[in-house]
Amino acid sequence: MNLSDTFLHPDRLLPTEVPVLKMARELYEGVTDLPIISPHGHTLPQWFANNQPMGDAADLFLTPDHYVLRMLFSHGVSYEDLGVPRSDGKRGASGKAAWGIFANNYHRFLGTPSRLWIDHSMNWAFGIEAPLAPHNADEYFELITSRLQEDDCRPLALLDKAGVDYIATTEFALDPLSHHAELKQSGLSSRITTTYRPDDITDPDHADFQSNIRAVGELTNQDIAGWDGLIEAHRIRRSFFRQHGASATDHGVPSARTVDLPNAAKQDLLTRILCGDQRPDDSELFRAQMLTEMAGLSCEDGMVMQIHAGSRRNTDPRLVKNFGTNLGADIPTPVDPVAGLEPMLQRYGFVENFRVLFFGLDETVYTRELAPLAGYWPALRLGPPWWFHDSPRGIARYLDGMVETAGFHNLAGFNDDTRALLSIPARHDVWRRCVCSFLAHMVTGKTLGKLDASEIAHWLCLDAAKDAYRIG
């Protein structure tokens, strides 16, 4: 059997009809070697600042990847047995034992984007030419772990190998950015930057909100009990992040709701929250007003605003208590972007310096709401398929739902939004193949010229992200 028939076929994700396949191959050849722009993600800045070996195979592929963890947990595998560190710092299984469990369950990822990404990563970084399985688990663990100790597999070398020209991490508002300070001192801050994510001081439902908001007041020497002082504290922290290369902010919210309250109402809301005298809707109201405030600050300083809406996060209290957050127990929820974004867009949607990128998990609003919104509001761009929809079929649904109304040039290109370093080139490759497949159907269907398709492929795979995030 030809190995390519079962593992990383060269035409994977491309069309099967011969004329369309030929066109898709040609378009893909034009974008496959483009540099990678990764303007939003959750890789750790210390990886790049310290540039030390990344541990073992499980540290690389298993424990940082909540897509993988949640799937294995759904089949009865405990987080202890997967070697995920507990909240108290203790760790259950060794990396090798966790890897063995991963290998025994690897067939459960068939048909998922995780399987595509991991197969691609193992082949691309380590030359592995057959899928992970129980019979080769030990061999692969030793191979990967050994290779990770070599200089060409250190984090900065992997960025070079992948052709990553620009990558942004994401830090909360109180982060001291010490690793980014090291990167700046090393001359790497124009390539590896941070992103301002103030959820720790804009979400009253955050477990440490009260202590965090007091801390930001002390850090910035502002009276955060007054609304103006609170906003000034954000202004100061945003400036600090920009000094470390940040050009964007990020806001993870359960809904797309924004509001534009009168000054007196804003102050009353803040006072109730700080005094613990909240009404039932106050947390949502505060988040909604803070989105509008962050939009106003973006109009001032030019930072691109990202809104990630529509996830009910950390739905398993036991997981949060024992292991922490962001480990897979997150579920998509509906959003209402038309009504939700209206107050913010009415206030700032025509300001020339304002740009907001919207990401959502509710596919039902693609054609009905998001595409028409982006097709009208000058400030709004649409982020790529996010989280559960960052997949071949998800990308196809996204392009099919958006393009006819929003066009290609109201899309923000692609970002990988990943915690797993090696999945960056894999995810960008999937996006590029899916884009070329979509465009090839348009060319062979005589709705798009070949030259135009080539230019759009280049746009969606490189230039759109640079333009949306104002990079370089």
The last residue of a domain, from among 98, 123, 153: 153
The last residue of a domain, from among 153, 171, 189: 153
Choose among 59, 25, 24: nearest CA to 44.
59
CA angle 331, 336, 337 (to 5 degrees): 110
pLDDT value for 1: 33
* Residue positions counted in the chain: 472
pLDDT value for 5: 58
Domain count, the chain: 2
* Confidence category of residue 89, pLDDT binned at 50, 70, 90: confident
Maximum CA extent, the chain: 73
pLDDT at residue 4 is higher than 60: no
- Please indicate, yes or no, whether residues 37 and 79 belong to a single structural domain of this protein: no
- Please indicate, yes or no, whether residues 181 and 242 belong to a single structural domain of this protein: yes
pLDDT value for 472: 81
- Across the chain, mean pLDDT equals 96
Q: What is the percentage of the chain residues whose pLDDT exceeds 70?
A: 99
Choose among 237, 238, 241: nearest CA to 181.
241
Q: What is the pLDDT of residues 22-43, one digit of tens each?
A: 999 999 999 999 999 999 999 9
- Please indicate, yes or no, whether residues 15 and 114 belong to a single structural domain of this protein: no
pLDDT at residue 391 is higher than 50: yes
What is the number of alpha carbons within 13 Å of residue 199 lying toward its C-beta?
A: 17
**pTM of the predicted model over 0.85:** yes
Residue numbers of the domain that contains 123: 53-153
- Please indicate, yes or no, whether residues 84 and 98 belong to a single structural domain of this protein: yes
Q: What is the CATH number of the domain that holds 100?
A: 1.10.2020.10
Q: What is the percentage of the chain residues whose pLDDT exceeds 90?
A: 96
Q: What is the pLDDT of residues 104-152, one digit of tens each?
A: 999 999 999 999 999 999 999 999 999 999 999 999 999 999 999 999 9
Asked if 24 contacts 15 with a C-beta cutoff of 8 angstroms, the reply is: yes
- Please indicate, yes or no, whether residues 149 and 185 belong to a single structural domain of this protein: no
Q: What is the pLDDT of residues 394-421, one digit of tens each?
A: 999 999 999 999 999 999 999 999 999 9
- Please indicate, yes or no, whether residues 176 and 98 belong to a single structural domain of this protein: no
- Please indicate, yes or no, whether residues 26 and 91 belong to a single structural domain of this protein: no
pLDDT value for 3: 46
pLDDT at residue 2 is higher than 90: no
* DSSP letter string, 77-145: --TTTTTPPPTTS---S-HHHHHHHHHHTGGGGTTSHHHHHHHHHHHHHH---S---GGGHHHHHHHHH
- Please indicate, yes or no, whether residues 365 and 257 belong to a single structural domain of this protein: yes
- Please indicate, yes or no, whether residues 281 and 333 belong to a single structural domain of this protein: yes
- Please indicate, yes or no, whether residues 68 and 127 belong to a single structural domain of this protein: yes
Q: What is the CATH number of the domain that holds 303?
A: 3.20.20.140
- Please indicate, yes or no, whether residues 141 and 164 belong to a single structural domain of this protein: no
pLDDT at residue 186 is higher than 70: yes
The last residue of a domain, from among 138, 153, 168: 153
Encoded tokens for 212? 């965090």
- Please indicate, yes or no, whether residues 145 and 169 belong to a single structural domain of this protein: no
